[in-house]
Amino acid sequence: MVAKKRSSMGSLNQQAVDQTNQQLSAKEIEVLTRTSLDWTKLKPKTADTALYDQLIKEVKESTEKNENLAQLRSRLESLGKEGLSLAKEVISLIP
Amino acid sequence: MLQYKNLKLLAFVIIFSQCASVPQSVVDLSSQVGDDIISIQSSYAQLVDAYYERLIDDRLDYLDNEWYPAYVKNWMRIGRLQEIAKGDIVWSEDDEKFTEVTEETPSMETINTLQIWVEEALWTYQEKKEELINPLITDRDTLKYSINVAFNNLTKANAEITAHLNSLRKVKEQQDQLLEELKLKRIRDQINEALIDASAKAGKGLEKVREADAKLEEINK
């Protein structure tokens, strides 16, 4: 288990770390270059979420209108006589 | 002859929806595309994970087999491990340096010094590991996030398209029922077929006009 609070021996240890980094600097650069990846090139070039949200909102509104229209008949039927007279009223509005 | 009332009802029915048909297979196809997008999203995420895991393994291989052995060698020398182990020196936290062991120095100090030495070595391994691996983990997570955002947008958009197609179909079914009751469905279908036929003929006519235009251009040259 690694100690939570480092000893003052840490500054001495840092010398060992620095020396190792210096000895292996060329090798480390080679490893880092070989194992690096420009992730931005893999990022999908798709439209902004804002544009999607806007279009989705418009489609949703249109869908809701269709759903209401599709339910019109059953709603009118469930209204019984009142529904029938309402339907007649709507039809009479058509010139 | 159609009665005036029926004509008005027909107009009402036509207002219900456009004449174009929406077969169930269109709704099914759109729904299937939605399911497949989710499946592709999962494959894409796994591919990104697998690729970054390979990069991480390569860096850990360098850490475990090259950097850390070299560091331990340096740390044994600079940290004077041999002298500590022999009981010749101990670490003094107050003076922040090694001190010679005297007869009064309790042997426990040697064990404490060895423990500090090992903890430093373990600490260093963890720090170097994070230095090498963390940038890859950050890149991987950022890339996965942007991929998920893109796929989620596609999934949401496709779900709305599926719902919309389904709603069109429902309206169409209602329209068909009403027309059936009015015995007018056949007339609507005939109108539709005539419109499709007219559209095809218009398309062929346009092709001929384009051909004629092309010939004229050649002659003018």
Tens of pLDDT, residues A27-83: 999 999 999 999 888 888 989 999 999 999 999 999 998 888 777 767 766 766 666
Nearest residue of chain B to residue A65 (CA atoms): B167
Q: Six-digit token pair at B56?
A: 């991480």
Residue B118 sits in the same domain as residue B59: yes
A13 in contact with B, Cβ within 8 Å? yes
- Local structure of B97: helix, strand or coil: strand
In a domain, B7, yes or no: no
Q: How confident is the model at residue A89 (pLDDT cuts 50, 70, 90)?
A: low
A94 touching B, CB under 8 A? yes
Q: Are residues B136 and B61 in the same domain?
A: yes
CB contact under 8 A, A56 and B157: yes
Backbone angles phi, psi at A9, to 5 degrees: -65, -10
Closest residue to A70, CB basis, from B67, B124, B174: B174
Residue B66 has what pLDDT?
98
Task: Please tell me the predicted confidence (pLDDT) of residue B102.
Answer: 81
Q: Is the domain of B119 the same as that of B159? A: yes
Q: Does A6 contact B at CB distance below 8 Å?
A: yes
In this prediction, the residues of chain B whose per-residue pLDDT falls under 50 are: 1-2, 16-18
Q: What does pTM read for this prediction? A: 0.71
Per-residue confidence band for A87, with pLDDT thresholds at 50, 70 and 90 = low
Q: Are residues B35 and B123 in the same domain?
A: yes
- Indicate whether B47 and B73 sit together in one domain: yes
pLDDT of residue B16: 47
Instruction: Kindly identify which residue of chain A lies nearest to residue B159, measuring between CA atoms.
Output: A56
- Chain B partners of A72 at a C-beta cutoff of 8 Å? 174
- Name the 3-class secondary structure at B20: coil
- Number of domains chain B is built from: 2
| A23 and chain B in contact, CB less than 8 A | yes
Q: Are residues B62 and B118 in the same domain?
A: yes
Whether B157 and B197 map to the same domain: the answer is: no
What pLDDT is stored for residue B65 in this prediction? 98
Residues B102 and B204 in one domain: no
Interface residue A55 vs chain B (CB under 8 A): yes
- DSSP designation for B63: I
- Tell me whether residue B217 is in a domain: yes
Q: SS3 for A46?
A: coil
Q: Which domain holds residue B66?
A: 25-171
Same domain, B145 and B215: no
Work out the minimum CA distance from A26 to partner chain B, whole angstroms.
12
Is residue B117 within 8 A of residue B79, CB to CB? The reply is: yes
B187 and B140 in a common domain: no
Say if the Cβ atoms of B58 and A34 lie within 8 Å: yes
Is the CB of A50 inside 8 Å of chain B's CB atoms?
no
- Are residues B146 and B90 both part of a single domain? yes
Pair B56, B124 in one domain: yes
Q: How far apart are the first and last CA of chain A?
A: 86
How many angstroms separate the Cα of A73 from the Cα of each of B65, B77, B104?
76, 90, 102
CB B133 within 8 A of CB A31: no
In a domain, B103, yes or no: yes
Q: Say how far residue B135 (Cα) sits from the centre of its chain.
A: 20
Picking from A6, A8, A23, the nearest residue to B123 by CB comes out as: A6
First vs last Cα of chain B: how many Å apart?
Answer: 58
Q: Taking the domains of chain A in order of start, what are their residue ranges?
A: 10-35, 49-93
Mutation test of the interface with chain B: which of A6, A52, A71, choosing the one with the most B Cβ atoms within 10 A? A52
> Which of A21, A42, A58 is the best substitution to test chain B (most B C-beta atoms within 10 A)?
A42
At B59 the pLDDT is 98
The shortest CB-CB distance from B79 to any of A12, A20, A24 is to A12
